[in-house]
């Protein structure tokens, strides 16, 4: 699958995916992959090929519930985070939020006592405006894909809320 994006005034193509199924040696699990970005000039010639190792990016996350931007596709940030415990009930009025579990088990509580349970390789999109509460009974590693305007805890500000500017950090 190829998706176009604009990054540092260059046309980029997302060439590979984040994970792949591994059934070798009788193991049934997900292997963290690498996302590759190829940069092109306006005349179509390739200028560089850069791989983003999702597993390595997750190793750089040291605090739970602190998303870190590792890429951008159009108006969407690609973020990684480690979760443990409970965040807070919140909603994002103008944006959907996608949770892709890389390791562990994530529970997302929803209104009316509904709950989504995600294991490695599974994702769920919480529609805009829907109250939700992510819970990790054990450490969970995730990839989030969110609009660049998505506030960490949506309509709720708590002590652990991380502003988008801080999530972006050194990403350029």
DSSP code per residue over the chain = --EEEEETTEEEEE-S-SEEEE-GGG--EEEE-EEEEEEE-TTS-EEEEEEEEHHHHHHT--STT--EEEEEETTEEEEEEEEEEE---B--SS--EEEEEEES-EEEEETTTEEEEE-TT-EEEEPTT--BEEEEEEEEEEEEEEETT--TTTT---TT---HHHHHTT--
Q: All domains of the chain, ordered by start, with CATH?
A: 3-168 (2.60.120.10)
State how far the Cα of 23 lies from the Cα of 20, in Å rounded to an integer: 10
Statement: residue 47 has pLDDT above 60: no
What are the tens digits of pLDDT across the range 70-100? 988 888 889 899 999 998 898 988 889 999 9
Q: What is the pLDDT of residue 106?
A: 97
What are the tens digits of pLDDT across the range 96-144? 999 999 999 999 999 999 999 999 999 999 999 999 999 999 999 999 9
The pTM of the whole model exceeds 0.75: no
């Amino acid at each position: 699958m190829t998706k176009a994006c604009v990054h540092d005034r260059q046309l980029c193509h997302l060439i590979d995916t984040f994970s792949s199924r591994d059934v070798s040696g009788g193991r049934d699990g997900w292997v963290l992959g690498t996302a590759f970005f190829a940069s092109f000039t306006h005349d179509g010639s390739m200028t560089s090929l850069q791989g983003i190792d999702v597993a390595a990016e997750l190793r750089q996350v040291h605090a739970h519930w602190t998303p870190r931007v590792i890429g951008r596709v159009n108006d969407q940030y690609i973020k990684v985070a480690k979760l443990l415990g409970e965040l807070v009930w919140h909603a994002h009025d103008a944006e959907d939020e996608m949770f892709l579990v890389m390791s562990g088990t994530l529970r997302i509580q929803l209104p009316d006592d509904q709950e989504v349970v995600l294991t490695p390789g599974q994702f769920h999109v919480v529609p805009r405006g829907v109250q939700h509460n992510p819970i990790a009974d054990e450490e969970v590693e995730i990839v989030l894909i969110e609009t660049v305007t998505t506030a960490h805890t949506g309509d709720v500000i708590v002590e652990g809320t991380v502003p988008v500017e801080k999530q972006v950090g050194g990403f350029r």
